[in-house]
């Protein structure tokens, strides 16, 4: 008997040891990178060549806006499935001169021919997610131009210079981008312009380290540099795009491009423990991040422990409540039936918070009384004068609509897929209307005793991951005093819908089991995107910057 108990004890000890060893194989974070510290300025982007271009602008005396636009143009070349002038742009800019935060909405609207009736007549039972029917007016170029005209110190032609050079001369494709590019070969093959522009020999994606150039995009940028953005918004380039889109059954007209204007907007915000978190107003989903923070405000999250089952459960459940409201109410702000002030009011938030069960996962919460995936770049820049810009530019899905008008060199976005055909919904498709948007830049100011001062410019790319990513990175910093790079690296959750959640590798097996016991369904995380963050933080003197290891990017300073 004693011998049997001894053997059993050895088996239990071995099992415990094996389980411990298995858990120890999970890395505590995703990167060995250090936070970048710099005295004069800093930049973080999702691709090294873009970071280098922006840093060169800063080093030559340019400001944060100059560097951001230069970097964004380079990203159009080197990360074409994510971004470009065929997409939209949003930005939050801290103007040191004005000592205030400024918002820019450079998103486009539905074409004059895009109606619910026409889509239904064509047999569509939902909004198209790819192809010419999904294309809306691209607003990014108008945003680049507006930022430079109002706050820049270089011309648009000068800002486009590095991108033109790289597009003409070529570059070696980075590994993560190469993998994402390869996943879209079928989509690109379906459109002649896309396959000619983005597939080697018209048949395959470039491999990691393989040289790639885009002479058509270089020519397009040269045309814009010579004639200004009007050549696109109503001029010869715009006519070429419209003709190509209409040939494929799309809904854009030249008048749609000619009448497009970016809009300066008032950011919206919510306070959280001495910090004020800022987002842009709808049609973006930034209000969901603010609603999450307001729901979570009274909970003792820090004492629960970082990424503990209880902590993650509260964040996940707050996300479900906020996103239910997002799906029901958020649309073009001119068409919403409930304001963001109402969504963030004490009465509304208290009612939503009362539905959060601290021990049991909800299935699909209903919205309070009265979405989509995304391929995006995010970058952040700060300069020696104290200007900071939180900048996000996207074509929505990978390579957007999958349509490249031959000879232009850039993919057109599929933001029309953000609309709904549901009658009388605030986000119902209609001509001249902004679709629901996933891309959101974030900014944080800090209470210094005499008001709020700029502190953090950051974002997390990745469709519906963005608001839940904003909250997770912020709490890493505010509650757990993490170093900036550690806050970006730390393992994340992504709520997928219903009770389904994905958890990144560093989150332990014990936590996963505890969450399952609460009713959460853990899905395989290997094919799930947990976003890509870039961040720049103001220090008492100088700057800190971090770049997400989930992307090919880098942070740098000078």
Task: Report the catalytic residues.
Answer: 376
Smallest Cα–Cα separation from 76: which of 395, 456, 407, 454?
395
Distance in angstroms (rounded) separating the CA atoms of residues 44 and 463: 20
Dihedral of the CA atoms 383, 271, 262, 433 (nearest 10)? 150
Smallest Cα–Cα separation from 72: which of 410, 523, 497?
410
Query: Cα–chain-centroid distance for residue 430?
Result: 25
**Is-contact 396 377, C-beta < 8 A?**
no
Q: How many CB atoms lie within 10 A of CB 19?
A: 12
Distance in angstroms (rounded) separating the CA atoms of residues 194 and 183: 14
Distance in angstroms (rounded) separating the CA atoms of residues 409 and 218: 8
**Is-contact 144 69, C-beta < 8 A?**
yes
**Is-contact 80 47, C-beta < 8 A?**
no
Q: How far is CA 135 from CA 108, 127, 319, 411, in A?
A: 10, 11, 30, 10
Q: Which residues pair with 445 in a beta bridge?
A: 276, 454
51 — alpha (psi -120 to 50), left (phi > 0) or beta? Answer: alpha
**Is-contact 217 76, C-beta < 8 A?**
yes
Structure tokens belonging to residue 218: 């270089």
DSSP SS3 for 162: helix
Distance in angstroms (rounded) separating the CA atoms of residues 343 and 269: 12
**Is-contact 70 43, C-beta < 8 A?**
no
> What is the number of alpha carbons within 13 Å of residue 237 lying toward its C-beta?
26
Cα of first residue to Cα of last residue in the chain, in angstroms, is: 72
């Amino acid at each position: 008997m004693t011998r049997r108990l001894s053997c059993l004890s050895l088996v239990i000890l071995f099992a415990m040891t094996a389980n411990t060893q298995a858990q120890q194989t999970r890395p505590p974070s995703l990167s060995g990178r250090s936070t970048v510290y710099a005295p004069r300025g800093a930049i973080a982007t999702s691709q090294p060549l873009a970071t280098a271009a922006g840093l060169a602008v800063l080093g030559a005396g340019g400001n944060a806006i100059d560097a951001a636009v230069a970097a964004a143009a380079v990203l159009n070349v080197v990360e074409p499935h994510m971004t470009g002038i065929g997409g939209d742009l949003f930005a939050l800019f801290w103007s040191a001169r004005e000592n205030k935060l400024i918002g820019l909405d450079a998103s486009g609207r539905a074409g004059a021919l895009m109606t619910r009736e026409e889509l239904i007549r064509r047999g569509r039972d939902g909004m198209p997610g790819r192809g010419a029917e999904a294309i809306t007016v691209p607003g990014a170029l108008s945003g680049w131009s507006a930022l430079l005209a109002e706050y820049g110190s270089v011309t648009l032609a000068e800002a486009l210079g590095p991108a033109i050079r790289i597009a003409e001369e070529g570059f070696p494709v980075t590994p993560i981008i190469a993998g994402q590019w390869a996943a879209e070969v079928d989509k690109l093959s379906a459109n002649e312009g896309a396959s000619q522009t983005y597939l080697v020999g018209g048949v395959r994606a470039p491999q990691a380290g393989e040289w790639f150039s885009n002479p058509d995009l270089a020519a397009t940028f040269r045309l814009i540099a010579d004639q200004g953005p009007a050549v696109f918004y109503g001029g010869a380039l715009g006519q070429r795009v419209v003709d190509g889109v209409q040939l494929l059954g799309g809904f854009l007209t030249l008048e749609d491009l000619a009448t497009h204007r970016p809009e300066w907007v008032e950011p919206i915000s919510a306070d959280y423990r001495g910090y004020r978190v800022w987002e842009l107003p709808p049609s973006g989903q930034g209000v969901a991040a603010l609603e999450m923070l307001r729901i979570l405000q009274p909970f003792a999250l820090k004492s629960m422990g970082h990424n503990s089952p209880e902590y993650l459960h509260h964040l996940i459940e707050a996300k479900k409540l906020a996103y239910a409201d997002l799906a029901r109410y958020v649309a073009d702000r001119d068409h919403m039936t409930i304001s963001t002030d109402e969504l963030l009011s004490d009465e509304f938030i208290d009612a939503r918070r009362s539905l959060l069960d601290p021990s049991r996962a909800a299935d699909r919460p209903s919205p309070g009384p009265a979405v989509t995936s995304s391929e995006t770049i995010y970058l952040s820049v700060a300069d020696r004068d104290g200007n900071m810009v939180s900048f996000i530019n996207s074509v929505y899905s990978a390579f957007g609509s999958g349509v490249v008008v031959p000879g232009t060199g850039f993919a057109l976005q599929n933001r029309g897929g953000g609309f709904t055909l549901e009658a009388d919904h605030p986000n119902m498709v209609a001509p001249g209307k902004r679709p629901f948007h996933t891309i959101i830049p974030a900014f944080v100011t800090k209470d210094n005793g005499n008001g709020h001062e700029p502190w953090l410019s950051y974002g997390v790319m990745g469709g519906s991951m963005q608001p839940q990513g904003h909250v997770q990175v912020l709490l890493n910093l505010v509650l757990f005093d993490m170093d900036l790079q550690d806050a970006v690296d730390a393992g994340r959750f992504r709520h997928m819908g219903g009770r389904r959640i994905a958890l990144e590798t560093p989150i332990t097996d014990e936590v996963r089991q505890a969450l399952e016991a609460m009713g959460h369904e853990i899905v395989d995380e290997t094919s799930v995107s947990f976003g890509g963050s870039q961040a720049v933080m103001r220090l008492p003197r100088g700057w800190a910057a971090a770049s997400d290891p989930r992307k090919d990017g880098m942070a740098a300073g000078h």
